[in-house]
Amino acid sequence: MSTTAVSVSLGLPEVPRNRRSRAEIEAAAPVEGTKRVLLAAPRGYCAGVDRAVIAVEKALEHYGAPVYVRKQIVHNLHVVRTLEAKGAIFVEETEEVPTGELVVFSAHGVSPAVVKSAEDRELRTIDATCPLVTKVHREAVRFARAGQEILLIGHEGHEEVEGTYGEAPEATTIVNNPAEARTVHVTDPENVTWLSQTTLSVDETMEIVAILRERFPNLQDPPSDDICYATTNRQAAIKEIAPHADLVIVVGSANSSNSVRLVEVALEYGARAAHRVDFARQVDESWFAGVTTVGVTSGASVPDVLVQDVLALLAEYGYAGVEEIVTADEDILFSLPKELRAKLKEDGDTSRGLGGRKAKAKPTA
């Protein structure tokens, strides 16, 4: 069988690979109609990820390498490797950071125990927790102080859930899925509230809340949605595209909750197939067999260069017409962490984040 070498630019060392050619794929399964791409908007970087990545870059620039980062700053392989190349050192726990060094807390947030451990080790810290995660932490503290039992909807073991749970462990129970919602035990059904991880499936979370409310009619809601605007908007865009797509490609890492949810949502809303890839080189050309319409989106921690690489690969296989499906505009920008703003001010750096910009979420379509 003849093959065509396609080399894909990843912003990383190029990895040439032998792929079956467009002609071979089309001969195996003819395509009806004009090939096209429906590109989701919004997609990719959210304000919290943007802020966290810039925080590490600015820390490297102003304090010099190494800058330690607890956990992956955001859940994206490309971002992590790029920052490592600039001098960031990623660690799992603060205990791995030498005494007195600088450590950045990731966008997913940390529990008070982690903050205390950093203080005990006299680490200098920059907290890059997304403000929308911090909001959920504050709700947990407030509800626990008010004597409420908290049902935290989220995935046990995810860093964000660990951080939120750690704010009020004695008052919190994690609910992973609808099955757990049907069996979770509470001490006083009259005094229960629910909170959630910011990056869940909107639909599944509402299903879980409905189950909980049936069991505990006086269940209290959080003051505003915990699932963040970026997660909601990206899911809304792929819901629009999925019914028309023979194939959906989601760019995002395996540990990125909102990227994995996008694959699930695409399938749920009618895509014939959906796959997640970190990089264009992971796209399997056999997915294109018989495919007329390809939907493309990316998780909230994905730089757009990785999506552009996928589009370039798709163009090689005849999917050159790209229509952007816009379901919301986003103009949110968070100011940088306060510890860093102070340093930037001291050094006369006005390039980003001294006070930030007014943030406003537009409603989803």
For the bound state, the minimum distance from the C-beta of residue 334 to ligand SF4, rounded and expressed in Å, comes to: 8
Smaller CB distance to ligand SF4: residue 205 or 293?
205
For the chain, give the longest Cα–Cα distance.
69
Q: Does the footprint of ligand SF4 cover residue 38 (CB under 6 A)?
A: no
Q: Does the footprint of ligand SF4 cover residue 197 (CB under 6 A)?
A: no
Q: Among residues 320, 183, 186, 306, which one has the least CA distance to residue 249?
A: 306
- Please check whether residue 196 is in contact with residue 176, taking contact to mean a CB–CB distance below 8 angstroms: no
CB count in 10 Å sphere of residue 323:
11
Establish whether 160 is a catalytic residue.
yes
Q: Does the footprint of ligand SF4 cover residue 132 (CB under 6 A)?
A: yes
Residue at 361: amino acid letter: A
The helices-and-strands tally (H runs, E runs) of the chain is: 12, 14
- Please check whether residue 37 is in contact with residue 319, taking contact to mean a CB–CB distance below 8 angstroms: yes
Q: Compute φ and ψ for 150, nearest 5 degrees.
A: -105, 130
Q: Answer yes or no: is 158 a known binding residue.
A: yes
Q: Does the footprint of ligand SF4 cover residue 107 (CB under 6 A)?
A: yes
Write the binding mask 224 to 243 for ligand SF4: x where contact by CB under 6 A, - elsewhere.
----x-xx------------
State which of residues 31, 47, 60, 123 lies at the interface with ligand SF4 (CB under 6 A): 47
**Which residue stretch of 88-96, 126-134, 180-188, 343-351 sits at the interface with ligand SF4 (rule: CB under 6 A)?**
126-134
Q: Does the footprint of ligand SF4 cover residue 199 (CB under 6 A)?
A: yes
Smaller CB distance to ligand SF4: residue 36 or 239?
239
Which candidate in 149, 160, 285, 330 is catalytic? Answer: 160
Annotated binding site for isopentenyl diphosphate: 75, 108, 158, 256-258, 301
Annotated binding site: 46, 75, 108, 130, 158, 198, 228, 256-258, 301
Give the footprint of ligand SF4 on this chain (CB under 6 A): 46-49, 107, 130, 132-133, 198-199, 228, 230-231, 258, 300
